[in-house]
Chain A
């Protein structure tokens, strides 16, 4: 599993370009931060009120007044700024954040995302996810292709409550990369170690195969 996750993170990393303002969701997306090369200058936004997240602090230097949206202690990079929650979501909802990378529970062929609630389980809340998927310039979802029972998380229709409708621009799983554009879901890449046959078998959604389909090198 750790190896598969590596392919997801590495592929997601390629979407982060120099000069971008990016919001990385809690959980797996947060792990991308450490992989961003030093010559790619991006500002990572944290919706609790920080643009310019830095590394975790050194032992003994954690500041309780400085956390990320996952409530972890962090530091800031040079050029960072602090602001209040309304300002933070003006940035997000006003389309000023170029890219949001979020985890997912289910993605549908229509580009719907479900990632905040499992009925019958304890409600936790959507936090900023519904704002991010509507407001960010691009929304990328990263997740495992199938659940622990081997069932496809890439569905015809989401069975879980939605976070957003038609909001996913790109889905990166351990098996494949899909783009959503003009109401079409298109397989554009196959991850290392996976085959087209496997992707087809493990995907419930109907999708087109891009002419330029490539394996990730």
Chain B
């Protein structure tokens, strides 16, 4: 029942032009860096990418902007990326901005088989335009739809061959909801351990959501804003 694949190229070989891809990560924290690099090399185009952010100009999903592989971006915050701005203003890139909690919930719902839900987030703003409004207990909510993707890329700390995943600190972020919302979920991990070596009580993403597991080497884990105090 091993889901382990030895090459990252194999991991992305099923991804086709026009696919919808969900990627975990917040800023550059917990991003599937190896899978993104492999996808760049694969050259697939016209991707719809769902991710909280779009990397920076020279790292993360920003790399796929540079090669113009992304047709549409669904995200909550894209302010760290100049290429993004250029391509959006040129009309080369479609953008759907989604409030961060709504994005997380749309992925959670999509992965859980829930087609839509109501939320107060965005009521009275541009986000609510064209959406169904409904009043519950005197408060107005808008309907938001679940998101699923053809593929999901997630980054975890540890995994076993069945695809059980454990994340580390705030690198968890969108990865668990991405894992659930992908029809084919590919996990890249820092450390692959034997089956039975992970405590079942500690598993964040059960292997049922994961199709392939890949162990990456030499993680860069770039820091976007290094803030420290003098020792």
Contacts and interface: CB of A to CB of B under 8 A. Distances in A.
Contacts of B88: 122-123
Interface residues of B, number: 59
A56 interface: yes
Interface in A43-72: 46-50, 55-67, 69-72
Contacts of B176: 84, 86
Interface string B115-154: 0000111111111000000000000000000000000000
Instruction: Identify which of B28, B95, B104, B120 gathers the most chain A CB atoms within 10 Å of its CB.
Output: B104
Interface in A149-185: 161-166
B29 A71 contact: yes
A59 B229 contact: yes
Which range holds the interface residue count of chain A? 35 or more
Nearest to B27: A71
B43 interface: no
A58 B229 contact: yes
Contact of A56 (B104, B172, B227): B227
Contacts of A66: 169-170
Contacts of A64: 28-29, 171, 221-223
Contacts of B168: 65
Given A60-B231, A126-B99, A130-B122, A85 B26 contact: yes
A36 B226 CA distance: 23
Given A84-B173, A84-B175, A89-B104, A130 B127 contact: yes
Given A71-B27, A82-B169, A58 B77 contact: no
Contacts of B229: 55-59
Nearest to A57: B228
B224 A62 contact: no
Interface in A70-87: 70-74, 82-86
A202 interface: no
A59 B30 CA distance: 22
Contact of B171 (A65, A127, A164): A65
Interface in A89-131: 89, 92-93, 112, 122-131
Given A86-B176, A89-B104, A130-B125, A125 B231 contact: no
Contacts of A48: 26-27, 29, 170, 173
A135 interface: yes
A208 B72 CA distance: 47
B172 A83 contact: yes
Given A66-B170, A128-B100, A131-B102, 9 more contacts: A46-B170, A62-B226, A67-B224, A70-B225, A71-B27, A74-B227, A85-B100, A125-B76, A165-B123
30 contacts: A49-B170, A58-B228, A58-B229, A58-B231, A65-B29, A67-B26, A69-B26, A71-B225, A73-B225, A73-B227, A73-B228, A84-B174, A85-B26, A85-B101, A86-B177, A93-B121, A122-B85, A123-B97, A124-B77, A125-B75, A125-B76, A125-B97, A128-B99, A129-B99, A130-B101, A130-B122, A131-B101, A161-B125, A163-B125, A165-B123
